[in-house]
Amino acid sequence: MTNENTTEKSKSVLLPGSAENAPVYFVDGVAGIALGPAVCRIQFHQVVAAASGEKAEVRKVVVNAVVPTAALVELCVNTLAAISNNAPALKNVMDLQAEQMFSSLPESVKPLKTVKRTPKK
């Protein structure tokens, strides 16, 4: 996350200390989204029971957020730009995390090999 207090586009200023005092919610994903011309409503969920056999994963909506549509579009554009600008570093960290995770597997499943993806041309 950025620690900057201003943004170039909006020339807005964050109230000092407001980010540190804002509630933090852990979510597993987006349960739904309703897009409108003025605002969007996004529902975030947590998984309360994992899928097993033929039973579906059970999810609980834990946060409803209403965001101006223009702000959501700005968020999406900025997120994609940040991912693009940091792609090599993100890939390296993700590869390292996968390597560490798979190296900690018990010997009984060690023959499983990770598949390295090759970029599509």
More confident residue, 42 or 105: 42
Strand ranges of the sheet holding 39-49, from the earlier edge strand across to the other edge: 29-35, 39-49, 58-68
What pLDDT is attached to residue 104?
Answer: 81
HSE-CB at 47 with a 13 A cutoff on CA atoms is 8
- Angle between the 69-85 and 87-103 helix axes, to the nearest 10 degrees? 70
Dihedral angle over CA of 66, 72, 78, 79, nearest 10: 60
The answer to whether 105 and 112 are in contact (CB under 8 A) is yes
Which whole number is the average pLDDT over 6-16? 73
Distance of alpha carbon 100 from alpha carbon 113, whole angstroms: 13
The string of pLDDT tens digits covering residues 81-115 is 999 999 999 999 999 998 888 888 877 766 555 56
In which band, very low, low, confident or very high, does the pLDDT at 2 lie, cut at 50, 70 and 90? low
pLDDT for 6 beyond 70: no
Which whole number is the average pLDDT over 22-28? 95
